[in-house]
């Protein structure tokens, strides 16, 4: 596993970030811990979760993913891992109000079984709360040692620039990264809106849905029906244009004897603003595809980008 430094931090992370959104949802506790062990054994150190994962599953309350990761961490050296979680979307801890952020952070720390969070995200922009109030709450958590760095998820360039301006004017913490959707299919918004502001601010990104909800693994080719909780989410991807893209990914993957997932993630890592894409795995077999290493040359990258 190769590592990359996160600009404006002292953190170095594995070039793949393991998404925890499936833990406690499509992967039960046993499956989740097996995947976490396999990721660690492969050299991975970067985990992404959120307090809202996976409130949407019947019978869940939210925080299930954090709880599973916390249980797993009891068998590991906490300092060996970079843990990122988020606040704002859990129904019982909604929004980016100052008091809510403090309470939500304490809840996450308890579930994760740790006394600090490496990267704490604003899970979306909150129009109802002054940015100064949000950043001031983060400042308090940083001063208390409960949070090391803050970042933004699902923020536009306008919202990121506003946060930077407010931080400078009030001597408050600044976001050190962005987590927005980006993959070989969903490119337009990221490349036209996110890339310019990331370059201007000198920060990088950790794209989510790096495999387009699993579509870029090739398992949904030709309209094939797959038993998965995410199957409905890929229906809109099944177009002739995207089938042509999959054919190109398959060609490159075949040339290197690796999975289509590996090629799709390497394309992301090759984009200048991307530090490490986020991808999740329900099984050890899926995890192995995510952590495969492959180097693509300029011709192969252009071959994929052209579609």
Which are the catalytic amino acids? 53
In the chain the first and final C-alpha atoms are separated, in Å, by 29
CA distances to 39, 124, 207, 228, 274 from 195, rounded to whole Å, are 29, 18, 12, 32, 9
- Beta-carbon count within 10 A of 45 CB: 18
Q: Which helix (H) or strand (E) holds 281?
A: none
Cβ-in-10-Å burial (0-12, 13-18, 19+) of 168 comes to exposed
Task: Give dist(CA 280, CA 287) in Å, integer.
Answer: 8
Between the CA of residue 217 and those of 119, 152, 228, 243, what are the distances in Å? 28, 27, 13, 12
Dist. CA 179–CA 17, nearest whole Å: 11
Q: What is the DSSP string of 212-275?
A: GGGGGGTTTGGG-----TTGGGGGGG-SHHHHHHHHHHHHHHHHHT--HHHHHHHHHHTSTTBS
Pairing, β 278-279 against β 117-122:
unpaired
């Amino acid at each position: 596993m190769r590592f990359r430094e996160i600009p404006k931090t002292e953190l170095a992370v594995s070039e793949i970030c393991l998404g925890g959104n499936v833990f406690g949802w499509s992967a039960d506790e046993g499956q989740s811990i097996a995947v976490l062990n396999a990721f660690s054994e492969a050299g991975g150190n970067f985990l992404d979760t959120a307090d809202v994962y996976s409130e949407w599953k019947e019978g869940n309350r939210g925080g299930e993913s954090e709880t599973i990761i916390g249980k797993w961490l009891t068998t590991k050296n906490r300092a060996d891992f970079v843990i990122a979680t988020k606040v704002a979307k859990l129904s019982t801890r909604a929004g980016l109000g100052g008091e809510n952020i403090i309470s939500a952070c304490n809840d996450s720390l308890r579930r994760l079984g740790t006394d600090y969070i490496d990267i704490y995200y604003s899970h979306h922009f909150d129009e109802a709360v002054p940015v100064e109030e949000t950043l001031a709450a983060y400042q308090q958590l940083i001063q208390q040692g409960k949070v090391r760095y803050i970042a933004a998820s699902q923020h536009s360039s306008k919202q990121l620039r506003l946060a930077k301006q407010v931080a400078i004017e009030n001597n408050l913490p600044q976001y050190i990264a962005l987590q927005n959707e980006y993959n070989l299919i969903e490119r337009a918004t990221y490349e036209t809106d996110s890339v310019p502001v990331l370059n201007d601010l000198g920060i990088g990104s950790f794209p989510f849905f790096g495999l387009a909800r699993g579509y870029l693994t090739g398992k949904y080719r030709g309209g094939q029906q797959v038993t998965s909780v995410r199957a409905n989410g890929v229906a809109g991807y099944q177009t002739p244009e995207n089938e042509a893209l999959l054919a190109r990914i398959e060609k490159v993957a075949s040339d290197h004897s690796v999975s289509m997932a590996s090629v799709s993630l390497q394309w992301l890592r090759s984009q200048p603003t991307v530090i490490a894409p986020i991808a999740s795995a329900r099984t050890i077999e899926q995890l192995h595809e995510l952590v495969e290493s492959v180097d693509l040359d300029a011709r192969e990258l252009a071959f994929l980008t052209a579609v």
